[in-house]
Amino acid sequence: MIVKEFRQLRRDRRTLAMMIVMPVILLIVFGYAASFDVTSIPTVAAGPQAGQAAHLVGKPFHLVGTQPSEGRAWAAQQLRDGHAAVAVVTGNGRPQVLIDGSQLFTAKTAIAALSAAAAKGANPPTGNTGLPSAGTAGQPPADAATGRAAFGAAPAVTVLYNPGLGTSDIMIPGLAGVVLVFVGTIITSLGVVRERQSGTLEQLAVMPLKPRDVFLGKIVPYFAVAAVDLAIVVGVGVSLFGVPFRGSLAVLALGALLFLFVTLGIGVLISSVSENQGQAIQLSFMVTLPQVLLSGLIFPLSSIAAGVRWISYILPLTYFNEISRGVMLRAEPIGPLWQPFVFLALLGAVVFTLASLRFRAYLAPAAPRRSGGAGSTGTARQPRSTRAAASAGSAGSAP
């Protein structure tokens, strides 16, 4: 029995690769990715003393923009549009620090840094910091103390978009994407492979159906189910967990539509290279797990090592996360979200085209033969399982 299992395992090279190579890859990738430590916080400064702030805010704050002529509204907009996680607003009186609460770990690190800096000056920051005291999110660098010195008074801290720094507020918009990945990729890949295993895909190949019809017929139900799932997740999140939905439903729906095209396309692609449901699940797992761990859903993107972070930027969930959190928590309109929308559209176009071509190749790989006589030579179609073996030849014309 043991020998038999080893022999079978040896011939199932994909499973073997999963068992041996994947753990090593996962260890390396996630070893670098699994970090909650935020070492750099993109910060903007506004108001008359913005230029001064540029010189005086220290680590972990990293100044990415100043606008002396603008005020709080501009600063809040920078946070809303994802250009910065922290905004310092200077002017008459105490400076204000706005923190984007939708970037949970970044916000906590910023608050901790500010609290620690203020504590050194015995003048803690005030406002809805969400944290009772400094240091709860790690030890801030000493440079942060210079911030207070620069402004002469402890800043008033306001956490926007997720004032309570609630985990569910940021997780549920992301989980909506995970649900779409699950349905779009895993379930779809199984649905198509099941067709192959039951022998009905060959029946479909000879039926008077166009490959496009079969392709759409396979994915539309999953598309509908995924859409319902999305509605349920968002509905439950809002009604049960009190997650805010501040933005436009239409923008989120458009983002979900593009995202679903990508995930469904990946599902069909996986099914087209899988011989059975086991292989489809393995491949789906390999595609889904990195999306969950590297998309910013759990670990902040800025905390992922640069050598691994590039993977995050080819994962569709990364962009859907940006859209769902931006729309639900920050009421971000579609304009500032153009980048994730464009990336999703590009990914969708590439993946969906590849999936369509693979599917078409399976159902109708051979070019139509010349027709002849009363009958037609028809369209010679050949399933993938034997396609590689049969060489293309010439079909003679009918007498």
Partner 1 sequence: MTAPGPANGWWGADDLSVRFGGNIALDHVSFRAEPGRVSAVVGGDGAGRTTLLRCLAGALAPASGLIRRPGALVTGYLSAGSGTYPDLSVSENLAFRATAYQIPPATAAERGEELLARAGLDRARDRLAGQLSGGMRQKLGVIAAMLHRPDLLVLDEPTTGVDPVSRSDLWWLIARAAAGGAAVVLATSYLDEAERAHTVLVLDAGAELAKGTPEEIVAAMPGTLTVADTRPAGEAGRRAWRREGRWRVWDPADARGNPSADASGNGPADAPGNGQAVRPDLQDAVTVAALARELARAGAAEESR
Chain residues that interact with partner 1, rule: CB under 8 A: 198-200, 202-203, 205-209, 365-366, 369, 372-383, 386-399
In one-letter notation, the amino acid at residue 161 is: Y
Q: How far is the CB of 197 from partner 1 (least distance, A)?
A: 10
CB nearer partner 1, residue 273 or residue 364: 364
Of 207 and 232, nearer to partner 1 (C-beta) is 207
Burial label for 13, CB within 10 Å (0-12, 13-18, 19+), is exposed
DSSP type of residue 42: E
CA geometry: angle 97, 102, 103, nearest 5 deg = 80
Q: How far is the CB of 277 from partner 1 (least distance, A)?
A: 13
Structure tokens at 228: 């319902």
Comparing CB distances to partner 1, the nearer of 77 and 379 is 379
In whole angstroms, how large is the CA radius of gyration of the chain?
27
Q: How many residues can be counted in the chain?
A: 399
Contact, 390 vs 382, CB < 8 A? yes
Q: Which two tokens stand for residue 392?
A: 């293309």
Least distance to partner 1, CB of residue 371, Å: 10
73/392 with CB nearer partner 1: 392
Positive or negative, the CA dihedral 290, 319, 104, 63 is: positive
Residue 152 and residue 91 in contact, taking contact as beta carbons nearer than 8 Å: no
3-state SS class at 97: strand
Q: Least Å distance between CB 384 and partner 1?
A: 12
Indicate the residue among 136 and 371 with the shorter CB distance to partner 1: 371
Q: Minimum CB separation from partner 1 for residue 196, in Å?
A: 12
Query: Shortest approach of partner 1 to residue 276 CB, angstroms?
Result: 15
Output 206 or 250, the one with its CB closest to partner 1. Answer: 206
Q: Are 93 and 155 in contact (CB under 8 A)?
A: no
Instruction: Report the nearest approach of partner 1 to the CB of residue 205 (Å).
Output: 6
Q: Which residue has the tokens 């011939």?
A: 11
**Residue number with CB closer to partner 1 (72 or 194):** 194
Name the helix (H) or strand (E) containing 228: helix 211-239
Which residues, in sequence order, are CB contacts of 133 under 8 Å at separation 6+?
115, 119, 124
Angle at which helices 72-80 and 316-330 cross, to 10° = 140
Distance CA 81, CA 169 (A): 18
Closest CB to partner 1 among residues 62, 381: 381
Minimum separation from the CB atom of position 285 to partner 1 (A) = 24
